[in-house]
Amino acid sequence: MKIKASFLLAITFIVFWGCSANVKEQGYITIGALLPLTGPASDEGLRTLNGIHLAKEEINARGGVLGKKLDIIVLNDRGDTEYIVEQYNKLMENNIAAIIGSSYSGPTLVLARESEKDGIPVISPTASNPAVTLGRSNVFRSIFIDDYQAEIMAQFAYDSLGARTALVLSNINYDTYIQAAGVFAESFTALGGHVMAIESFSSEDDFASLLGKYADNQPQVIFCPEDYIPAAVLINNAFELGFRDTFLLGSDAWDGILTYVFNQEAMITAYYSAPFSFDDPDEKVINFVRGYFDFFAQKPLAGPATAYTSLYILAEAIEKAGNTNWGDIIYAMKTMEFDTILGHLKFDENNNPYINVYVIQIKDGQYSSYEKLSLKGQRELNKEP
């Protein structure tokens, strides 16, 4: 199944790239995209590309923007913080109105710094590090920030799961994960919970030994903001070491974890935050999921949804601006409100949207919404005990 999906994604990229050949002759409005299409981050990059492609097809089918069709120029940034600068400079040689990218916070932070010098509008679908947009007038995101989701997951652990003790695991290689771990610990403590420890690790190989320290005195929850492949190792290790009554909590980067968990029983107590769930009953979500499945023969995860939203935001902002002047597009993005598949969206002073957070559970081998939350404590989806 994974081979088939990867093949479809690869074909999508080839077809999508090919449509850029005659852009100048056809008078398209051109959007640039920088995504990791090869390398360790390519799964996320290719899923993101699918969401952009679907949005482009829909927008063009409805007449485009300002009477012109949209064209997307996609360059592979490899998820590399140095190579993305080279690719950004190549992208800027074209007459582009804005940039979508990148997928992960490290490369996107570099992109943000480079783009700030030129003033071109940039929107990232999935980079959740607060530093990406902080103090930058031209850089936006369509996902929530790490601090926000970590605080909500602390609220979920305390209120919804009834947890009073927590172990927090912090990846010392990434500032954004360190910060998210700290926010969770602070928020959980403020609610009345007890954080047994914040344990630092440098690789997934450390999980077994770290968990072993708590085998005889297990916490009620373990929170670990991490990418989905190391997170799968954590879940497998916890199951093998007998942590059957401990809830395992993660961040949006856990999206995609199902493919890498060896034993589906290990997922019973695992939950993670996401900006989107395909089983939301909202009509916009239903139509998006149907369209995505028709194109790619699979259900969308959060990455395609936030990428799809990113292109729609740019299209609406350009339409509102009435031109492709970068300053006018940025002003439109800052002042407009958007009704999206992620919910009603308006950017704050740092160009971050404070949207609802879905708590995702793997149930019967499928991704499933367990609860939808905001910091106001609103619960909009029914949950089972």
3-state secondary structure the chain: CHHHHHHHHHHHHHHHHHCCCCHHHHCCEEEEEEECCCCCCHHHHHHHHHHHHHHHHHHHHCCCECCECEEEEEEECCCCCCHHHHHHHHHCCCCEEEEEECCCHHHHHHHHHHHHHHCCCEEECCCCCHHHCCCCCCEEECCCCHHHHHHHHHHHHHHHCCCCEEEEEEECCCHHHHHHHHHHHHHHHHHCCEEEEEEEECCHHHHHHHHHCCCCCCCCEEECCCCHHHHHHHHHHHHHCCCCCCEEEECHHHCCHHHHCCCHHHHCCEEEEECCCCCCCCHHHHHHHHHHHHHHCCCCCHHHHHHHHHHHHHHHHHHHHCCCCHHHHHHHHHHCCEEECCEEECECCCCCECCCEEEEEEECCEEEEEEEECCCCCCCCCCCC
Residue 2 has pLDDT above 60, yes or no: no
Rounded to whole angstroms, the Cα distance separating 153 from 176 reads: 16
Rounded to whole angstroms, the Cα distance separating 208 from 197 reads: 16
What local confidence, expressed as pLDDT, does residue 22 receive? Answer: 39
What is the residue type of 154?
A
Residue 375 has pLDDT above 80, yes or no: no
Angle at which helix 2-18 crosses helix 283-296, to 10 degrees, equals 90
- Compare 218 and 382 and report the one with higher pLDDT: 218
Mean pLDDT value across residues 192-217: 97
Sign of the CA dihedral 231, 171, 359, 302? negative
Residue 15 has pLDDT above 60, yes or no: no
Q: What is the biggest distance separating any 2 CA atoms in the chain, rounded to whole angstroms?
A: 69
Residue 13 has pLDDT above 50, yes or no: no
Per-residue pLDDT tens digits for 322-344: 999 999 999 999 999 999 999 99
Can the peptide bond before residue 310 be classed as cis, meaning omega within 30 degrees of 0?
Answer: no
What local confidence, expressed as pLDDT, does residue 354 receive? Answer: 84
Evaluate whether 132 touches 109 at the Cβ level (below 8 Å): yes
For residue 178, CA distances in Å to 22, 224, 246, 331 come to 46, 10, 22, 33
Per-residue pLDDT tens digits for 245-286: 999 999 999 998 988 887 888 999 999 999 999 999 999 999
Q: Which of 164, 166, 219, 167 is nearest to 192 (CA)?
A: 164
Q: Tell me what the pLDDT averaged over the chain comes to.
A: 90
Per-residue pLDDT tens digits for 136-162: 999 999 999 999 999 999 999 999 999
Q: For each of the domains in the chain, give its residue range(s) and CATH number, in order of start.
A: 2-144+281-354 (3.40.50.2300), 146-274+358-373 (3.40.50.2300)
